[in-house]
């Protein structure tokens, strides 16, 4: 067998069931021969984004694998790999490489060099007998330490060479669980129980560690409310009385209030990265920080008690410490935190109800979110936003229920991620209704992968908020916009979807959104991909700030 075939055998032995790809790379054929299904996307970025979606829902037990060609293919994939890197998502990227003698010769693009800044681990197979050790390091990096893209570049001359099966020498790496020091666990619990107004900041690490039950139990035992970061959304059921909500730069009023006034913040399963796509943490708080990657502790904040280690094991240790300090019931029912949250939530929702239930035309995008909450079986769905205003409108208002019922993503937020991300999600959870919520600008970045969804049978639903422009930038470049039409665009997206084998539904009346969503769920269950083109207006209101409206334009006026 040759080195490429040896790699396919290793992938098979690691339980890889499918790979996303864009031809050509001989691993596609070798994988197919091993019974690993290749799904070709319309663009390398889409293939990477789908691998990302698959990994996010598999909690580091299975990984998205993506195969692409050298040069143009490897160059084209960079945006999506950068996004997976920014969000700490473990994917295996397999770019074909040139023959070894071209690696340092201009203008050849060498992924193993250029990807170093956007990958957790990068390696080239530079000799046939290295395939086993390179792949061992790759799977170790996927399973252990900070998650992130892992790249194995496959030089053409090396990968075409023969290798005896008994020389592959692959060893499958296991997960190593690390736990914080016992004295730090005791200090953390003592500090949290003494605090005046503690809160929990839960990140994606809670989901990846499969620690959502432990998070709930710890919050209930201590009556400490839980905020989730954008990637952490769905780590707690947002109907839970201790749930404050999730945040990008927008969030719920309850979350904002707690973030402002809490004295002790316990970050769990979160890198606590300062980002414009997240809530800010005001100075002066005592910070307790759990995360798997030690290098994230003291990165953006001075941390008082560091709990580096596996998030599930850490929460379990904290739960037993609370029990040993307070007894089995903890302090359940002994604080008025639940009432405080309920009061804030009720007042906030009351002010937002006219927006959420707005029945004017063109449709208010918040009304679409309201209808999603009413018409989806939320526990059995996976919902995601896209870059720009769809993200900030969804974050406070779409109710995440079961773990992974929502995918919050984006630290550089690549427009158009939503469609391929949902194809990957559907591959991971074929029985869930997978829906992405994007603007018409975002559609332009990945719209042709609707055809990938139709062709592959990964039946997803795409909602396009068709406002004919970019509401994300209301006052942006007035001369360029008014004189030259920059940021205006048009399209009959339902018709485009029909041309790609999907069902297109156009909605212009708020009262028709619910039935369109029901129809989409029925069609997806029958294996048919759906696009709902909703004629919306630009909407600038963001939670929890005021209701000021800046944007006056809309194409449908």
Ligand X SMILES: Cc1ncc(C[n+]2csc(CCOP(=O)(O)OP(=O)(O)O)c2C)c(N)n1
Catalog residues that contact Mg ion under the rule CB under 5 A: 439-441, 467
Q: Give 146-159 as a DSSP string.
A: S---EEEEEEHHHH
Q: How far is the CB of 44 from ligand X (least distance, A)?
A: 14
Does position 413 interact with ligand X (CB under 6 A)? The reply is: yes
Q: Which segment (63-71, 113-121, 149-157, 464-472) binds ligand X by CB under 6 A?
A: 464-472
Judged by CB under 6 A, the residue of 322, 470, 520, 530 near ligand X is: 470
Q: Which segment (5-13, 193-201, 432-440, 476-484) binds ligand X by CB under 6 A?
A: 432-440
CB 321 within 8 A of CB 175: no
> Counting beta carbons within 10 angstroms of the beta carbon of residue 176, is it exposed (0 to 12), middle (13 to 18) or buried (19 or more)?
exposed
Judged by CB under 6 A, the residue of 441, 504, 510, 544 near ligand X is: 441
Does position 537 interact with ligand X (CB under 6 A)? The reply is: no
- Residues 130 and 488: their CA atoms lie apart, in Å, by 52
Q: How far is the CB of 489 from ligand X (least distance, A)?
A: 8
Judged by CB under 6 A, the residue of 439, 447, 504, 510 near ligand X is: 439
Helix (H) or strand (E) holding 48: helix 44-56
Q: How far is the CB of 384 from ligand X (least distance, A)?
A: 14
- Residues 363 and 358: their CA atoms lie apart, in Å, by 8
Which residue, 419 or 442, has its beta carbon nearer to ligand X? 442
Does position 148 interact with ligand X (CB under 6 A)? The reply is: no
Which residue, 413 or 454, has its beta carbon nearer to ligand X? 413
Question: Between 389 and 408, how does the x/- string for binding to ligand X read (CB under 6 A)?
Answer: xx------------------
Q: How far is the CB of 56 from Mg ion (least distance, A)?
A: 25
Going across the sheet that includes 305-308, the strands are: 243-247, 226-229, 198-202, 264-268, 286-291, 305-308
Does position 387 interact with ligand X (CB under 6 A)? The reply is: yes
Which residue, 82 or 384, has its beta carbon nearer to Mg ion? 384
Does position 447 interact with ligand X (CB under 6 A)? The reply is: no
Q: How far is the CB of 53 from ligand X (least distance, A)?
A: 17
- Residues 248 and 501: their CA atoms lie apart, in Å, by 34
Which residue, 38 or 278, has its beta carbon nearer to ligand X? 278
Other beta carbons less than 10 A from residue 171's beta carbon: 11
Which residue, 86 or 111, has its beta carbon nearer to ligand X? 86
Q: Which segment (84-92, 98-106, 130-138, 388-396) binds ligand X by CB under 6 A?
A: 388-396
Q: CA-based Rg of the chain, rounded to a whole angstrom?
A: 24
Does position 388 interact with ligand X (CB under 6 A)? The reply is: yes
Q: Interior CA angle at 370 toward 232 and 58, to 5°?
A: 30
Going across the sheet that includes 91-97, the strands are: 37-40, 18-21, 64-68, 91-97, 150-155, 121-124
Q: Considering CB distances under 5 to 8 angstroms, the limit depending on partner class, which of ligand X, Mg ion, none binds residue 212?
A: none
Does position 463 interact with ligand X (CB under 6 A)? The reply is: no
Q: Considering CB distances under 5 to 8 angstroms, the limit depending on partner class, which of Mg ion, ligand X, none binds residue 442?
A: ligand X
Q: Phi-psi category of 183—alpha, beta or left, where left has phi over 0 and alpha has psi -120 to 50? A: alpha
Does position 273 interact with ligand X (CB under 6 A)? The reply is: no
Q: How far is the CB of 433 from Mg ion (least distance, A)?
A: 24
- Residues 27 and 455: their CA atoms lie apart, in Å, by 21
Q: How far is the CB of 468 from ligand X (least distance, A)?
A: 8
Which residue, 21 or 470, has its beta carbon nearer to ligand X? 470
Which residue, 170 or 277, has its beta carbon nearer to ligand X? 277
Nearest to 440 by CA among 409, 415, 477: 415
Q: How far is CA 69 from CA 4, 43, 74, 106, 520, in A?
A: 13, 12, 6, 18, 35
Question: Between 49 and 88, how does the x/- string for binding to ligand X read (CB under 6 A)?
Answer: ----------------------------------------
Q: Considering CB distances under 5 to 8 angstroms, the limit depending on partner class, which of ligand X, Mg ion, none binds residue 219?
A: none
Q: Which segment (28-36, 470-478, 522-530, 546-554) binds ligand X by CB under 6 A?
A: 470-478
Give me the phi and psi of 276, to 5 degrees please.
-70, -10
3-state SS string for 244-292 = EEEECCCCCHHHHHHHHHCCEEEEECCCCCCCCCCCCCCCCCEEEEEEC
How many residues belong to the chain? 557
Per DSSP bridges, beta strands 64-68 and 37-40 are: unpaired
Q: Which segment (68-76, 305-313, 386-394, 542-550) binds ligand X by CB under 6 A?
A: 386-394
Q: Considering CB distances under 5 to 8 angstroms, the limit depending on partner class, which of Mg ion, ligand X, none binds residue 314?
A: none
Which residue, 248 or 401, has its beta carbon nearer to ligand X? 248
Which residue, 143 or 541, has its beta carbon nearer to Mg ion? 541
Judged by CB under 6 A, the residue of 6, 272, 471, 507 near ligand X is: 471
- Residues 252 and 342: their CA atoms lie apart, in Å, by 12
Does position 442 interact with ligand X (CB under 6 A)? The reply is: yes
Q: Considering CB distances under 5 to 8 angstroms, the limit depending on partner class, which of Mg ion, ligand X, none binds residue 404?
A: none
- Residues 504 and 75: their CA atoms lie apart, in Å, by 33
Strands (E), 270-394: 286-291, 305-308, 381-384
Going across the sheet that includes 530-535, the strands are: 406-407, 381-384, 433-439, 461-466, 530-535, 503-507
Judged by CB under 6 A, the residue of 30, 112, 206, 415 near ligand X is: 415
- Residues 310 and 307: their CA atoms lie apart, in Å, by 9
> Counting beta carbons within 10 angstroms of the beta carbon of residue 104, is it exposed (0 to 12), middle (13 to 18) or buried (19 or more)?
exposed
- Residues 296 and 313: their CA atoms lie apart, in Å, by 18
Does position 472 interact with ligand X (CB under 6 A)? The reply is: yes
Q: Which residue is nearest to ligand X (CB)?
A: 439
Q: How far is the CB of 478 from ligand X (least distance, A)?
A: 16
Does position 414 interact with ligand X (CB under 6 A)? The reply is: yes
Binding interface with ligand X (CB under 6 A): 387-390, 413-415, 438-442, 465, 467, 469-472
């Amino acid at each position: 067998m040759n080195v490429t075939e040896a790699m396919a055998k290793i992938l098979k032995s690691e339980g890889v069931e499918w790979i996303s790809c864009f031809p050509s790379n001989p691993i596609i054929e070798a994988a197919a021969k091993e019974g690993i299904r290749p799904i070709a996307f319309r663009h390398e970025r889409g293939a990477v984004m789908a691998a990302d979606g698959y990994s996010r829902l598999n909690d580091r037990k299975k990984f998205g694998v993506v195969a692409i060609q050298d040069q143009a293919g490897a160059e084209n994939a960079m945006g999506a790999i950068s996004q997976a890197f920014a969000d700490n998502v473990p994917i295996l990227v397999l770019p074909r490489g040139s023959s070894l003698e071209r690696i340092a010769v201009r203008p050849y693009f060498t992924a193993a060099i250029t990807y170093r800044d956007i990958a957790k681990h990068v390696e080239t197979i530079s000799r046939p007998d290295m395939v086993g050790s390179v792949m061992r390091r790759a799977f170790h990096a996927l399973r252990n330490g900070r998650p992130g893209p892992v790249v194995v570049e496959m030089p053409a001359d090396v990968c075409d060479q023969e290798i005896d099966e008994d020389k592959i020498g692959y060893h499958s790496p296991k997960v190593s669980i690390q736990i914080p020091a016992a004295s730090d666990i005791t200090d953390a619990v003592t500090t949290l129980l003494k605090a005046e107004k503690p809160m929990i900041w839960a990140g994606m690490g809670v989901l990846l560690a499969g620690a959502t039950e432990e998070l709930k139990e710890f919050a209930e035992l201590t009556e400490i409310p839980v905020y989730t970061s954008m990637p952490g959304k769905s780590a707690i059921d947002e109907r839970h009385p201790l749930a404050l909500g999730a945040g990008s730069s927008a969030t719920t009023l309850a979350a904002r209030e707690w973030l402002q006034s809490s004295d002790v913040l316990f970050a769990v399963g979160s890198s606590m990265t300062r980002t414009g796509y997240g809530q800010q943490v005001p100075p002066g708080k005592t910070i307790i920080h759990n995360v798997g990657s030690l290098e994230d502790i003291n990165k953006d904040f001075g941390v008082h008690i560091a709990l580096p280690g596996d998030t599930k094991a850490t929460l379990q240790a904290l739960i037993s410490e609370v029990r040993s300090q307070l007894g089995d019931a903890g302090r359940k029912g002994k604080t008025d935190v639940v009432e405080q949250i309920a009061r804030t939530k009720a007042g906030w929702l009351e002010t937002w109800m006219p927006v959420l239930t707005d029945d004017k035309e063109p449709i208010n995008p918040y009304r679409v979110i309201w209808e999603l909450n009413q018409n989806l079986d939320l526990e059995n769905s996976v919902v995601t936003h896209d870059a720009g205003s769809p993200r900030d409108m969804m974050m406070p208002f779409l109710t995440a229920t079961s773990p992974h019922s929502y995918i919050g993503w984006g630290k550089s937020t690549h427009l158009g991620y939503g469609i391929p991300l949902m194809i990957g999600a559907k591959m991971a959870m074929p029985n869930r209704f997978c829906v992405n919520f994007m603007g018409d600008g975002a559609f332009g970045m990945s719209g042709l992968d609707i055809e990938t969804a139709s062709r592959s049978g990964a039946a997803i639903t795409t909602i396009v908020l068709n406002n004919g422009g970019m509401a994300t930038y209301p006052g942006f470049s007035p001369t360029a916009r008014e004189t030259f039409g920059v940021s205006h665009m048009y399209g009959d997206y339902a018709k485009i979807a029909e041309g790609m084998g999907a069902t297109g539904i156009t909605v212009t009346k708020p009262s028709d959104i619910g039935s369109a969503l029901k129809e989409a769920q029925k069609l997806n269950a029958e294996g048919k991909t759906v696009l709902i083109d909703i004629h919306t207006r630009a909407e600038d209101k963001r939670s929890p700030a005021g209701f000021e409206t800046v944007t006056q334009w809309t194409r449908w006026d």
